Structure 1
Amino acid sequence: MATEWQETLVEKQVTYTLHLNGQIILIENVPARVNEETGEQFFSPSTVERLQQTILNQQEPDHFVQVPVYNYSNSAA
């Protein structure tokens, strides 16, 4: 018996994370369609283009955040 898979996508504002040249870049309030079951995010072509331009143009950030970094191989078992 085959199980029918029903995908539910909802429109949300998400934070896009990019690792570039050893830096973590965050872009907040990005429109995306998000799969409610898996959390997978889908972006429209125009949104992807705008994300690329924001990063390539090296616009002045709105603000900076500090994040802790842990090394998994150094953590206790």
Structure 2
Amino acid sequence: MVIEWQETLIEKQVTYTLHLNDQIILIENVPTRVNEETGEQFFSPSTLERLQQTILNQQEPDHFVQVPVYNYSNSAA
């Protein structure tokens, strides 16, 4: 039995989120291809390389944001 699978990928710019050393790092306007149905993101090798270099080189951020933190186990059902 052959199952045909057809994905529809759209070009988008997203915010890449990384949790590293107790810090949340956001990189905005990252080019990616997104599966319309599942939301899965696919980054090109060159984009991944640039993301790594941005993080490893500890470039000065463009700006900072405050992030609220919620604990799921403490939330009301």
The answer, yes or no, to whether TM exceeds 0.5 is yes
Give the deviation of 1:23 after TM superposition: 0.7
Q: How many residues align?
A: 77
C-alpha distance in 2 between matches for 1:52 and 1:3: 36
State percent identity of aligned pairs.
92
Instruction: Name stretches of at least 5 consecutive residues in structure 1 with no aligned partner.
Output: none
Report the TM-score, using the length of structure 1 for normalisation: 0.92
Give the deviation of 1:2 after TM superposition: 6.5
Q: Deviations over 1:6-65 (max 9, x none)?
A: 200011111100000011100000000100001100000000000000000000000001
Give the deviation of 1:67 after TM superposition: 1.0
Report the TM-score, using the length of structure 2 for normalisation: 0.92
Instruction: Name stretches of at least 5 consecutive residues in structure 2 with no aligned partner.
Output: none
Ranges of 4+ aligned residues in structure 1 off by more than 4 Å: none
